[in-house]
Amino acid sequence: MELGVSAVRGGRKKHLADSGSLLSSPGVGFTVILISFYVGFYYNVIIAWALHYFFSSFTMELPWIHCNNTWNSPNCSDAHTSNSSDSTSLNDTFGTTPAAEYFERGVLHLHQSSGIDNLGPPRWQLTACLVLVIVLLYFSLWKGVKTSGKVVWITATMPYVVLTALLLRGVTLPGAIDGIRAYLSVDFYRLCEASVWIDAATQVCFSLGIGFGVLIAFSSYNKFTNNCYRDAIITTSINSLTSFSSGFVVFSFLGYMAQKHSVPIGDVATDGPGLIFIIYPEAIATLPLSSAWAVVFFVMLLTLGIDSSMGGMESVITGLIDEFQLLHRHRELFTLGIVLATFLLSLLCVTNGGIYVFTLLDHFAAGTSILFGVLIEAIGVAWFYGVQQFSDDIKQMTGQRPSLYWRLCWKLVSPCFLLFVVVVSVVTFRAPHYGTYIFPDWANALGWAIATSSMAMVPIYATYKFCSLPGSFREKLTYAITPERDRQLVGRGEVRQFTLRHWLLV
């Protein structure tokens, strides 16, 4: 839908104004932009962490192998000399492993912060890495697709080379088959849990860029006759195959770590940054030529991170430039302003307690809000603009009318499913935490303020636009539910949205 709408309307954010109503016109565009902006605050920090690890890997001996470093605590237990088979949980072991202490004490300096209300100063090493990330992003985006289109040839292809190398290495490790067996085993009872569907929907949005404006921004540069149906099938297929194959890489290493520590795989698997910056580095440290494998692994993280961050930042920059035409003539300067603003706010995440800010943003910035944005977008296109009208546009563009399957998905399946996950995500809300640290009430309130600030763009803009329209209440309502491209029909009384056929037609 996003590929089709953007290409048909020929705009990056204003396409929603042309193809929807006040419920989906620029309000949802600003929602998308604000969400992408929030995500940029902490996503670039992940790249900075990866860059720090990348530089640290150019040593004869990786710094997270032993406990004889200045940052290690007396509780550190050398994984190579201690017997962890007596541990009941690998999570308990990871609390004192060199890899865990390197990440939390050597990189983050988390031990110097007592919580989110005591962040401390920014770490100069992480700040320097963050500066390099911002510089890379700026020179990848400052000329628009002229530069980002060239950079993406490297950032989009390099991860596949590294992923293949890691897969070949991972499946040869002892215990890998146990990890792969656990990966391929399916617990169908988990499908009855609402949280599984919420996590899946959110992951799809992140993985494909749905709701972040990424697809809208880049597809708007395509020709009008571009086959968006083909692009959608190819993109989702490659994404699914990549995710599936990545699972083999992840679980082969998890199986290896589980056998190494003599614990169940469930005790090894973890979410958040711990998997990437604690478990994987420890696994790599046990391999022959560990430094080389570490460099390869973090090169993959860097290219993946830069590629994803470029898409999110491009949606922010292009969306605002399209809305405010004055910025067209000053794209380079405006791009500089956006990346600098992102850098300054990201500094909160590279302080001693920055992981707490990171966790808060990760939990609230693009959870319920991104699902809400996609829901409003689906309703605006399928219901107010109309599935039939949208299908006519697709036929004009590709020469083929969407089948009944797609029309039913747009009209009923997608809006109903998205409404379900939005409601359930609010009802089943669980407060964020980092390890044993529980966020104070004011932090949770701040998180909800961040989430609602982006969602509020839809009703705020709709109210503003409705009040600014001329005429009586009925006339205002008529213009409000009519797409901008059909406004000339209002004067003749030809308002499709006032007919029952418009709402029932699929």
Annotated binding-site members: 207, 239, 304, 307-308
**Which positions make up the binding site for Na(+)?**
207, 239, 304, 307-308
* Whole-number Å distance between alpha carbons of 319 and 14: 8
69 neighbors 106 (Cβ within 8 angstroms): yes
**Which DSSP state fits 123?**
P
**160 to 156, 173, 300: CA distances (angstroms):** 8, 20, 8
Question: Hey, how many other C-beta atoms are within 10 angstroms of the C-beta on 85?
Answer: 10
**Which DSSP state fits 403?**
P
User: Whose CA is closest to 481, among 461, 462, 458, 501?
Assistant: 462
- Which two three-digit tokens encode residue 67? 């406990």
Q: Which helix (H) or strand (E) holds 437?
A: strand 437-438
* Whole-number Å distance between alpha carbons of 311 and 332: 17
CA dihedral 246, 252, 257, 259 (to 10 degrees): 160
Report angle CA 291, 347, 294 to the nearest 5 degrees. Answer: 10
* Phi/psi-derived region of residue 118, left when phi > 0, alpha when psi is between -120 and 50, beta in every other case: beta
User: Whose CA is closest to 492, among 501, 502, 482?
Assistant: 482
- Which two three-digit tokens encode residue 228? 């968006």
